[in-house]
Chain A
Amino acid sequence: MARPDQASSRGSRRTFGQWLETWVEWHAQALLSSLGKLLRQPMGSALTIIVIGLGLALPGALHLVLVNAEQVTENIGRSVQLSVFLAPGTEASQAKALQQRLEDRNDVLEAKLVSPEEGLEDFRSVEGFAEALSALEDNPLPWAITLRPTHGLDAPELTEALAAELREIEQVDLVQVDTDWVRRLASILDLLRRAIEGAALALGIGVVAVAGNTIRLDINARRDEIEVVKLVGGSDAYVRRPFLYGGFWYGLGGGLLAWLLLWGASWTLAGPVEILATDYGSAFRLLGPDALAATATLLGGPLLGWLGAWWSSSYHLRQIEPKP
């Protein structure tokens, strides 16, 4: 048996590399053994992982709804269109001149003249209108000009100003700006975005609490063991390590489950959505979990689990003192 002072001086002579190697060894050991403990009580672990998984999947699903809804509005187009109807009885030459004038404006990208006949044709091509129109003797449609301004949906005040200016023109009877519903959709999406942020925050706190509570139960179940480890001089960090890794595993399990749920849901819905979109003549395709959703679940899960374990263990481990 070596003298004790020899033992301690040998300890201090360890190089940083050896120290790091030992550190990694013991952490890897703690990481794996905490996974082993988890797997040895599959029922309890599964329940925690399911709750965490659902907690992570819900904001993820809302996020997917948002992403897809945004894609829909993008498909509708970023451009604004104004329909300018001229007063009945306006001459073709006058309409042509006005169209030219409008097209020369800086804030107008394109101005297209639509004759009453063209307008009528457009209507005819719409199912159900043809018969109604054939009952008419005269063409009731005026000359019209469709305008595309240089600015987009994001500058509604410019569109309004342009519309107001157009209304002042003598020959103009009616100006229609059909952007209201797009604006409404945009504000609904904005609301949804805020709701998701709120839900993500609330559910994130929930995930931390669930992980923390499970770790509390684990700590209680291993009270005797913790006492013994403290008796022989285990530091707080050492005693806490397996529980932190436990929280990490719960979170990772929950994150994987959440990702699978999101992926499964979009995979199941992709087919029906495609059929529906094709019926409406749209090229819209459902988007699956994006990078953000994947990162949030697969990284956020373990992070929140770790956090819950940290929070729970700092409180509960302190209360266990060896009482021999």
Chain B
Amino acid sequence: MILFDAVHKRYPGGREALVDVSFELARGEMSFLTGHSGAGKSTILKLVALLERPSRGRVVVNGTDVSTVRRRGVPAFRRQVGMVFQDHKLLSDRPVFDNVALPLAISGTPRRDLDKRVRAALDQVGLLGREQGFPQELSAGEQQRVGIARAIIARPPVLIADEPTGNLDPDLAMEVMSLFRRLNEVGVTVLVATHDIHLIDRLGTRRIHIEGGRMADGSDDGAS
């Protein structure tokens, strides 16, 4: 489902952010992505969502080699990848409802289905009843959860999340991770970048560890 084959990434003018990264996540598999700040976790996720392109090597997502995706094909490609961003990326001048409904609006879902699905998605992140609020009126953790609701509402086959629990207390963090686990159990492929070692230990999920842009030895210990 997600395949990295000898991937290198060098940002323009920068040093190599990824060096020879190879791993594979099967359909319906879940893995954490760990590593120090600046290790290259976000870079891996950006390659999966085609926000960046690899400098060398092959990235295949949901059967599509990203090198075959032309500019015009990028939006359709991205719609199969739900993404939770490190800095939320919400529309500040739109209410929570519109933010969460955005992927459905983009794919032309009948409007009468919107209400039900937005409420269902918000319910899953514990924010039911906050549809009319604006992002600035929410705490950092609440904004993060709105971002998660937006990432899952269109039921994409691949879900990637960058520090989705960074601003959450341990209970909420556990709840969000459980949500990802539940999605994973119904077939969604999930890749989550996180610093939260405690949580990973408790969940006992597969873990890909990056150090200075390289796969750390023995990090990828297969499925749990």
Contact = CB atoms under 8 A, between A and B. Distances in A.
Interface in B89-119: 89-93, 102-103, 105-111
B8 interface: no
Interface string A224-253: 110111111111101000000000000000
A324 B46 contact: yes
Contacts of B188: 4
B75 A235 contact: yes
A25 B110 contact: yes
B155 interface: yes
A25 B77 CA distance: 24
A324 B186 contact: no
Contacts of B204: none
A234 B182 contact: no
A187 interface: no
Contacts, number: 89
Question: Chain A binding site: helix, strand, loop or mixed by DSSP?
Answer: helix
B116 to A, nearest CB: 13
Nearest to B45: A324
Interface in B105-150: 105-111, 124, 150
Of A2, A23, A29, A233, most B-chain CB atoms within 10 Å = A233
B177 interface: no
Contacts of A7: 154-155
A228 B81 CA distance: 14
B131 to A, nearest CB: 17
A322 B111 contact: no
Interface residues of A, number: 30
A1 B110 contact: no
B69 interface: no
B111 A29 contact: yes
A225 B93 contact: yes
B101 to A, nearest CB: 11
A74 interface: no
A113 to B, nearest CB: 84
A1 B186 contact: yes
A235 B78 CA distance: 10
B187 A233 contact: no
A274 B102 CA distance: 60
A211 B133 CA distance: 34
A324 B155 contact: no
Interface string A1-37: 1111101000100000011011101100100000000
B72 interface: yes
B157 A231 contact: no
B186 A232 contact: no
B85 A324 contact: yes
Contact size range, B: 35 or more
Contact of A233 (B75, B91, B111, B155): B75
A118 B58 CA distance: 107
Contacts of B76: 233, 235
Contacts of B187: 3-5
Contacts of A233: 75-79, 81, 103, 106-107
B223 interface: no
Given A25-B111, A322-B51, A234 B106 contact: yes
Nearest to B124: A1
Given A1-B186, A4-B157, A324-B85, A236 B79 contact: no
Contacts of A22: 108-111
Nearest to A225: B91
B156 interface: yes
Contact of A228 (B72, B86, B89, B186): B89
Interface of B: 42, 46, 49, 51, 72, 75-79, 81, 83, 85-87, 89-93, 102-103, 105-111, 124, 150, 152, 154-157, 182-183, 186-188
Given A228-B89, A233-B75, 17 more contacts: A1-B152, A1-B155, A4-B157, A4-B187, A7-B154, A7-B155, A11-B107, A25-B110, A224-B91, A227-B89, A229-B102, A233-B81, A234-B75, A234-B102, A236-B75, A324-B42, A324-B86
30 contacts: A1-B124, A3-B187, A4-B157, A4-B188, A5-B157, A7-B154, A18-B110, A22-B109, A22-B111, A25-B111, A26-B105, A29-B111, A224-B91, A228-B91, A229-B102, A229-B106, A230-B75, A231-B51, A231-B83, A232-B79, A232-B103, A232-B150, A233-B76, A233-B78, A233-B103, A233-B106, A234-B106, A235-B75, A324-B87, A324-B89
Q: Which 5 A-B pairs have the closest CB atoms?
A: A233-B78, A233-B79, A7-B155, A235-B75, A4-B157
